[in-house]
Amino acid sequence: MTAVIDAHGLTKRFGKRTVVDHVDLTVTKGEIMGFLGPNGSGKTTTIRMLCGLLLPDEGSGTCLGFDLRTQTAAIKREVGYMTQRFSLYEDLTIRENLDFVARMYSLKDRSRRVNAMLDRLGLRKRQDQLAGTLSGGWKQRLALGACILHEPKLLLLDEPTAGVDPGARRDFWDEIHELAHDGLTVLVSTHYMDEAQRCHRIVYIFEGKVRARGTANEVIAESGLTTWIVRGPDLAPIAERLKGAPGVLQVASFGDTLHVTGKDVGALERTMRELEATGVNVTLGETTLEDVFIRLMDEIGVTP
């Protein structure tokens, strides 16, 4: 399959601090790649190197066939980049913002392209509304429209759904999957585990290093974790009791349940059966991405 992004050993330092540490990343045409990790993990810096806004200190690679070091101008013309913060003009209307972007890219038949984008994203009725008066979800939709107006071959999305409601997030992801179905390649950074599940593959990065990669199911399977679910009132004492018990590597609270995980299947089951014998409700559960990432943070020595 065609590699739209093919980067090896990408490294970026700011002073003595290494923000991105020898990251390898390959994304194929039409793929939605999820880029996960906590704030400060190096996701944004990596994205900026991929789209030509930052030059790597070490490493090499291509984006859309263009060299990351020597052909950054060509990369910028073919990429749509949606930043974490709304970056359009709040004192312009929706239509004026889209028309401005069309002028920036010297697009022919601007009016037709702008009208088509307004219709595609359901913005036609709001076209004369000032961007600064829009809700988070509508701003997100406008920002996406501006990113894809010039018909890029690669879409880089940096925390695009932060601060928007669940309905707007769902609609946004439906649109992303339609774009990918049409052949657009997407690299999206996110904190949301449900969004990670909607990606074809994921990469988890922390302290500038890749800690896990693959499909969601592959990442879960490779973790080697087994998870038990504990339900009931007053779970805090039970959580304390389980910490350090045979087979238990991690105890995490999820609402009114505890997720108890470990890699020694036999030892973990014995511990859970002993707990069950005291009248506590325990069931064998399914390990989730969140379980895996919490464990990764714990192994690294960081409290999530």
Kindly report the pTM of this predicted structure.
Answer: 0.89
Q: Among 293, 270, 116, which Cα is nearest to 191's?
A: 293
Q: Residue 286 has which token pair?
A: 């399914």
Query: Does 263 have pLDDT greater than 70?
Result: yes
Domain 3-219 sits in which CATH superfamily?
Answer: P-loop containing nucleotide triphosphate hydrolases (3.40.50.300)
Task: Tell me the mean pLDDT in the region 216-233.
Answer: 95
Could you read off the pLDDT of 129-184 as tens digits, one per residue? 999 999 888 999 999 999 999 999 999 999 888 778 888 888 889 999 999 999 99
Q: Do domains 3-219 and 226-286 have the same CATH topology?
A: no
Across the chain, the runs of DSSP E, i.e. the strands, are 3-14, 17-28, 32-36, 58-63, 66-67, 79-82, 154-158, 185-190, 201-206, 209-214, 226-231, 250-254, 257-262, 281-284
Q: Among 291, 295, 289, which Cα is nearest to 257's?
A: 291
Give the start-to-end residue ranges of the domains of the chain. 3-219, 226-286
Look at strands 66-67 and 58-63 and give their pairing: antiparallel
CA distance 62 to 72: 10
User: In terms of CATH architecture, what is 226-286?
Assistant: 2-Layer Sandwich (3.30)
Could you read off the pLDDT of 108-133 as tens digits, one per residue? 999 999 999 999 999 999 999 999 99
Could you read off the pLDDT of 228-259 as tens digits, one per residue? 999 988 899 999 999 999 999 999 998 899 99
Could you read off the pLDDT of 268-288 as tens digits, one per residue? 999 999 999 999 999 999 999
Q: Is residue 25 packed enough to be buried (19+ CB in 10 Å), middle (13-18) or exposed (0-12)? A: buried
Q: What is the pLDDT of residue 304?
A: 44
Instruction: Check if the beta carbon of residue 64 is closer than 8 Å to that of residue 2.
Output: no
Look at strands 201-206 and 32-36 and give their pairing: parallel
